Amino acid sequence: MPDGARVRAAAGKVCVAAVQMVSAPEVAPNLEAAARLIAAAAAAGAKLVALPEYFCILGRHETDKVMVREADGYGPIQDFLAGAASRNRVWLVGGTIPLVSLNEEKVRSACLVFDSEGRRVARYDKMHLFGLDLGEQRFDESRTIEPGEQPVAIDTPFGRIGLSVCYDLRFPELYRALGVVDALLVPSAFTSVTGAAHWELLVRARAVENQCYVIAPAQGGLHPNGRRTHGHSMIVDPWGEVLASRAEGEGIVLAELDAGRLAEVRQSLPALQHRKM
C-alpha cells in the first residue's frame, strides 16, 4: 500500500509513484506483483508509475535473464507493460527487461516507457555495467549484459524526463549529457552494502546538481536467490529533499512533481544557467 496520505494532482502538479519490489527468479509471479502495485499506484492518483530494475526477473544465476530475453517489440513482458499502462491509464516505466543483443550470450538491459494508451514511447539501454568485488560479494554485469551507447530523454505531459538505470547513478556526466530535464528516472537494484553507503547520497546529489526531481524505484529486501537489495525507493525534489521513501519490502511511494517548485529552485539559484561545461 502507499506510504503516507493519498496524493492528489493539483494545478501545475502531478502525482508520480516509485514501485518497490522483491523480485523472484520466475517471471510470472513478478508480473503478478507488478500488476498489483501498478494498480494500487493508479488508484492512489499516480499518473506516472516507475518499476525497479530487474522487476521481471532477478534470477538465481546471472544467465537466467538471458533465457527469458525478448526481441525488441515482441514478447510477454513487453505485452504486460503495454497492457498495464493502458488498463490503468498511466505512463509506465518498465524498470529494465532483458532484450536481444548482438551477442547471443548476453542481453540489453532496456528501460522501456509506455504512455497511457499503451504505446511504447522510449527505450534506453543501460550504459554503465555494475562490477563489484568485496570478497563474498562479487558482481560483473558485463558477463551477461551488452552496454547501451546513447543517453535518452523524452518529452512527456509531465515535462522532459531523462532515463537512467542503477549503476548509471555514479556517472554524473551521463546526466549532463541529457541537458536540462524536469525529472530523472533511476530504476535500481542496489546491493545492501553499496546501497547503505551511497544510495541516498547519490540520488540526492543528482537531484541537486541537475535541479530536477529524481524518481528512484528500487528492489528492496531478501530475494529467493539469497541476494539482499537495499531498497529505500525514493522521490527527491530539486532542492535535494526526500519527499517519500520506503525502507524495505514490496510497496509504493507517492509524491508530486510540482512545476512551481521546480521554477522556484531554478530562479533562486540559477546554477543551470551558470554552467561552463
pLDDT in tens, 109-137: 999 999 999 999 999 999 999 998 887 77
Report residue 2's pLDDT band, with 50, 70 and 90 as the boundaries: very low
Q: What pairing do the DSSP bridges indicate for beta strands 48-50 and 13-20?
A: parallel
Q: What pairing do the DSSP bridges indicate for beta strands 107-114 and 120-125?
A: antiparallel
Let me know if 166 is a catalytic residue.
yes
Matching residue, cell 543483443: 101
The closest alpha carbon to 52, from 204, 224, 192, 233, belongs to: 233
Q: Using one digit for the tens of pLDDT, what is the confidence trace for 32-74? A: 999 999 999 999 999 999 999 999 999 999 899 999 999 999 9
The pTM of the full predicted model, rounded to 2 decimals, is 0.94
Let me know if 13 is a catalytic residue.
no
The catalytic residue among 47, 53, 111, 212 is 53
The four Cα atoms 141, 76, 185, 114 give a dihedral, to 10 degrees, of 150
For residue 100, the model assigns a pLDDT of: 98
For residue 261, the model assigns a pLDDT of: 97
Averaged pLDDT of the chain: 94
For residue 12, the model assigns a pLDDT of: 87
The catalytic residue among 56, 126, 146, 256 is 126
Mean pLDDT of 146-152: 98
Mean pLDDT of 133-159: 92
Which domains, and CATH codes, for the chain? 13-269 (3.60.110.10)
Report residue 27's pLDDT band, with 50, 70 and 90 as the boundaries: very high
The closest alpha carbon to 203, from 169, 158, 179, 253, belongs to: 169
For residue 7, the model assigns a pLDDT of: 36
For residue 139, the model assigns a pLDDT of: 86
Q: Using one digit for the tens of pLDDT, what is the confidence trace for 178-225? A: 999 999 999 999 999 999 999 999 999 999 999 999 999 999 999 999
Measure the CA–CA gap between 218 and 22, rounded to whole angstroms: 9
Let me know if 53 is a catalytic residue.
yes
Report residue 146's pLDDT band, with 50, 70 and 90 as the boundaries: very high
Residue 266 has pLDDT above 90, yes or no: yes
φ and ψ of 199, to 5 deg: -55, -60
The catalytic residue among 15, 56, 111, 166 is 166
Strand partners for 154: 161
Distance of CA 274 to the CA centre of its chain: 29
Helical packing angle, 27-43 and 76-88, nearest 10°: 10
Length of the chain: 277
Residue 174 has pLDDT above 60, yes or no: yes
